Amino acid sequence: MFNCTRKVCCIAVMAAAGAHTAAAAHWVKGYVVGFYEPAFRYGGRADFSRGTEIEPGVDCPHGSTIHFAVPAQVAKSLLLVPWRTKEEVEAIANPPADGLNRDPAGVYFHTWRAASAYRGYNRDIETYINPFAAEDPGQPEVTSRIGEGFNLDGKIKPGDFVSPDGEEGIDNELYRAWGCDAPWRGANSNGTLVLRSNDKMLEGLYTIVIRVSGNKDPMNDDEATLEIGYSPDQIMKDARGNVGSDYSYRILQSEQYTKLKARVKDGVVETEQADIHMPQIAWFYNQLRDAFFREGKIRVIVNSDGTVAGLVGGYRDWRDLYAQNVYAQSGGVQGVREHEDHVALYYALRRHADGMLNTKTGRYDGISCAYRMKLTPAFVVDPDKPMAIPSRESEARGKEGYDATMAAMIKAAETLVPQEVPPASRELAATDGIEIGPGGVPIRGRGRKRAADGKAQGSSAHSDPQ
């Protein structure tokens, strides 16, 4: 028997029902990724005032990479090649303008590009597929203790980074190995490849979306879910060219997609540690791949100014990262244009690999890393019916060549046996027939027989877009 009036009982029942509904209310938040870059820090000095020059930063006190930037640096790298004479090196490092055309910049670019492609212990070993066969020219590496990312192995080791907010044990060896590479660093995320890759993403090359949901308080929910994946919909911009808010995007659950358990505490979302599939950074179609983060985590934070930041980290196969940066065009094009040396990068990545032990080789295939994302609120919805990532048949040939080149490089790295250049590889056209002729003048028509044969056989080697 209830000891209450009908009115009081009704109020009590409604109050209880309301409390239950509030506790179990389903909530969803969606975001589109509007900016995506490696989590490399830039520790510039406030008192730096040398005009437009980029200050080296406390993390790279020796400065950024200058590979293939000036003749002296080119000569330093080529002097490591055992079969090059000093006279040849001098001629390559300082090519005369009348060697190929009257544009000194053009002569430097094409000559250095060609020479960089064959630096192995024998003349016929292509460098970028077989970087192990060349001497390490040295890679400036990060010296700072501050780094962004996650404690992936649950340990606090002497060499680990400390996060900007003081968390110890941060694993981000990709930053240590690659963080001083010129095109990936600069104040305000303005490295050349950072800007290039993000411009291509905003122009429609690919789209990444995130959806967070739960059934408790959106600010504090210990049973939330985070989904991240590829969207077939192009990023929408507002009238000022910025990523527009509150547009709708589909999320595909077929590939490059992950669903994770997550916890929301005081508005900060952090996922469980698990394998993560999502699109990788790209600036050409042939690079579009799954950025497979092993033992990865994702964090989403709403900042006080209303912006939303994301961080994704885990162990990635260093060979994927190497290929992503080298084979979009050719190693020589990428290196000379961006002042990178992928032989130096190869050795740095292998040296700092710290995860994914390969029992066959006894070496680590994975390197810890983290990537920053700037997020814009959006409606993330499921497609009307299941669908796969759209393919672009007209550009499939480029992907085939990329895959074949990467497979050859992986075999070379595992076996330390030089591999031939696959017929569809862009590395086949890397030398463009340029060699050093009489008097140290770069000339055409004396390229290596393999490159000439490949072109004669109707291979898909072709000029690299610039």
Stretch 273-295: mean pLDDT, rounded?
Answer: 96
The yes-or-no verdict on residue 87 having pLDDT over 60 is yes
Stretch 190-195: mean pLDDT, rounded?
Answer: 90
pTM: 0.87
The highest-confidence range among 7-21, 106-120, 441-455, by mean pLDDT, is 106-120
Q: Helices in 395-448 by DSSP H: which ranges?
A: 396-415
The yes-or-no verdict on residue 256 having pLDDT over 90 is yes
- Amino acid at the residue 376: T
- Predicted local confidence at residue 341, as pLDDT: 95
The yes-or-no verdict on residue 285 having pLDDT over 50 is yes
pLDDT-above-70 percentage for the chain: 82
> Residue 448 — very low, low, confident or very high, per pLDDT cuts 50/70/90?
very low
Give 17-67 pLDDT, tens digit per residue: 444 444 569 999 999 999 999 999 876 665 655 555 556 677 888 778 889
Q: Residue 209: exposed, middle, or buried by beta-carbon count in 10 A (0-12, 13-18, 19+)?
A: buried
- Would you tell me how many other CB atoms lie within 10 Å of the CB of residue 8? 11
- Predicted local confidence at residue 291, as pLDDT: 96
- Predicted local confidence at residue 110, as pLDDT: 83
Domain layout of the chain by residue ranges: 30-418
The yes-or-no verdict on residue 375 having pLDDT over 90 is yes
- Predicted local confidence at residue 394, as pLDDT: 75
pLDDT-above-90 percentage for the chain: 65
User: Among residues 66, 310, 105, 284, which one has the least CA distance to residue 196?
Assistant: 284
- Predicted local confidence at residue 50, as pLDDT: 58
The highest-confidence range among 42-56, 401-415, 444-458, by mean pLDDT, is 401-415
Between residues 209 and 107, the one the model is more confident about: 209
**Cβ-contact 381, 375 below 8 angstroms:** no
- Predicted local confidence at residue 3, as pLDDT: 44
- Predicted local confidence at residue 327, as pLDDT: 94
The yes-or-no verdict on residue 6 having pLDDT over 50 is no
Mean pLDDT in the chain? Answer: 85
CA atoms within 13 A on the CB side of 302: 14
Stretch 253-261: mean pLDDT, rounded?
Answer: 96
Stretch 310-321: mean pLDDT, rounded?
Answer: 98
Give CA–CA dist 258/70, Å, rounded.
44
